Amino acid sequence: MGQMHFHVSDAAAEFFHNCRWKDAYLCGIEGVPWQTRNMFHPTDPSASGPVSTPEDLPADFQSGDHAGGRLTLTRNVATSAKLLITCPIDGIGYRVLTTCSLRCLDTPHRLIIELARGSCYRVRTQADTWQRGGLSLNEHFDALLIEGTRHFLDALQPAAAVAAAKEAAKSGAADLVESNPQADIESAQSAIRAITILEQAAAELGELFSTQSMAFRRSREPRLSTMMAVGISPECCASRQSVGASRTNHTATPGTPAAKSGSTAMLNDALVGVDEPGSVIDSDIIHAFNAAAVRISWGDIETASGTPDFGPVSKVLDECASVGLRVIGGPVIDHREGLLPEWLTLMDNDFERLLTSMTNFVEATVNRFRGQVHLWNAASGLNVSGPMRLDDEQVMRFSIGVLQTIRRCDPTTPVIMSIEQPCGEYLARHADGISPIHFADALLRSGLGLAGIGLNFRFGYDHGETHPRSALEFAQLIDRWGTLNAPLLVQLSIPGDPGLDPAARLKTFPVSLSPETDGRADAWARQQQEFAQPLIETLLAKQIVHAVVWDGASDQAPHVMPHTGVIDASGRPRPVLSYLTKLREEMLM
């Protein structure tokens, strides 16, 4: 068993306790997390011993004079590893910080110093790599990098420690220099400042990459063929109220993508009356997207065994065809708690019967909608532990069964398989589950003609989320998945409101992506757009990303993830809708 210890000085305690340290984890060079148990050992004798969550600390502990301690992460191996921890960055919000690779030692590493070292290494090496590839840096980035590096060096050797060492050398007692409280304070302040500035440099570097890469793509492809899809749930057919009754219908103006694109040639004629009661797709949404990700899912269609109801899905697909939206159908199997048919619990101990039921449903579904779907999303989330409680062998058999059935019934339409939590955070807390990138690699090597991989990123939730990352980290992550040499479909789920969402199927709660965001809906909606924009622009800059899916059209209609819609529950467009509309007008087909 290996333990990695990190010292948290009193001077760095406030920063540490604002971090989400209970969700921190260790990973190796491949980025796959180890199952990790986290404990914080306060140095304050008034604290009640080691704790595993911040809630276990005394109420007044964080404001005390001795709020430091030692963070210990325990796993089954004693090899070197990197620490990943979500921390608040002034002016940016919560972001994952990563140390460099560290050895397991009995003596603790200095947490704040190692996080600053990781930020410095990450920004400098990526800047060098991209610059060698032709990226042009600017003076603003150079200034941030120089200043951030200077603060990191100050943290390693604070002025107070240097002065104390010189004084001790003069007196001939250099080997007796003791801990210097002033030096600890200076070191912590410099490290925190270094992290803040270097993360600003990372944001600038990510923007430089997306801007210049996009310009290069558009020099060869003025209108990007990337699919920008909106997630639509067929449940809205029965209960959706008109979200555009109070807004004026729009028509495509000459020169816009809607007017020029062959795939949307029917748009102008179809927009009349699109906001009438019974309509599924709002006209404002049509202007922002060139595709629709329609939920064609087992749990929604076959609520009673052997009696699928395809009516709501047919209505949505017909409307998508009438307004010229390409269709991504699925996930046919959504392996999340509460999204599979309830009657499957009767088959808990009968895998062969489960496989037969799945095959029958998939066959009936694909035969029904063959020709109306342009891309099949076969299944989502089979890499994580779900309600079917399958072991690794059964997961692979089930996955292959879904793919084989779709390919047999519809051999011409491309098929993808989607991965939940592509960074693998679930592996840090549970032994169950398969490494996401290894699972995808096995499917691609199966020889079943898988056309690509879907990556589902859900940022800002208390369950099943991907920890928030900068555009730089996101670009590196996409590059890592790109090593599989398969097209990628990326789905983004980001909440635009706090609290419970009564219209959402999943009752997970939104978690703020910035400590500065209060409970106001407009602040959350603005946060949604500000967090999403650099990620979307990074994805559009990557040629290996063939489709981007925004998970949610309107929060007025029934949907899956809470508060993800580009239109809120009161029918008002969120800022992200305006951004996506402009994006499509300027650069998408």
Q: How confident is the model at residue 249 (pLDDT cuts 50, 70, 90)?
A: very low
Query: Above 60 in pLDDT, residue 142?
Result: yes
**pLDDT higher for 6 or 234?**
6
> Model confidence over 546-558: pLDDT tens digits?
999 999 898 988 8
Q: What is the per-residue pLDDT across 232-247, written as a single tens digit (0 to 9) for each?
A: 988 765 444 343 333 3
Position 58 scores a pLDDT of 64
Residues 6+ apart with CB under 8 A from 56: 48
Q: Which carries the bigger pLDDT value, residue 183 or residue 335? A: 335
**Taking 90 as the threshold, does the pLDDT of residue 578 lie above it?**
yes
Residues 555, 566: contact at Cβ < 8 Å? no
pLDDT at residue 406 is higher than 60: yes
The torsion angle over the Cα atoms of residues 223, 226, 228 and 229, rounded to 10 degrees, is 140
% of the chain exceeding 70 in pLDDT: 85
Handedness of CA 260, 266, 268, 271 (dihedral sign): negative
Residue 132 pLDDT > 60: yes
Those residues whose C-beta lies under 8 Å from the C-beta of residue 169, and which sit 6 or more positions away, are none
Supply the pLDDT for residue 391: 85
Residue 239, SS3? Answer: helix
Residue 46: the pLDDT is 63
The predicted pLDDT at position 165 comes to 55
Q: Which tops the pLDDT comparison, 244 or 379? A: 379
With 90 as the cut, is the pLDDT of residue 52 above it? no
Calpha distance 452→210 (Å, rounded): 23
pLDDT score recorded for residue 135: 93
529/160: higher pLDDT: 529
Range list of β-strands (E), 496-541: none
pLDDT digits (tens, 9 = 90+) for 254-298: 344 343 333 333 233 333 333 444 566 778 888 999 999 999 999
CA distance 502 to 218: 42
pLDDT grade, residue 66 (50/70/90)?
Answer: low
Are 438 and 480 within 8 A, CB to CB? no
Locate the domains of the chain by residue range: 2-215, 223-587
Q: What is the pLDDT of residues 412-458, one digit of tens each?
A: 999 999 999 999 999 998 877 789 999 999 999 988 889 999 999 99
User: To the nearest 10°, the Cα dihedral for 158, 160, 161, 163?
Assistant: 120
Q: Which of 282, 442, 295 is nearest to 380 (CA)?
A: 295
**Backbone phi, then psi, for 256, in 5-degree steps?**
-80, 160
Give the global pTM: 0.86
CB 563 within 8 A of CB 495: yes
Quick check: 521 pLDDT over 90? no
**What is the spatial distance between Cα 289 and Cα 324, in angstroms, rounded to a whole number?**
10
162: confidence class by pLDDT, cuts 50, 70, 90: low
CA–CA separation, 470 and 97 (whole Å): 9
CATH for the stretch 223-587: 3.20.20.80
pLDDT of residue 551: 92
Q: How far apart are CA 125 and CA 549, in angstroms?
A: 31
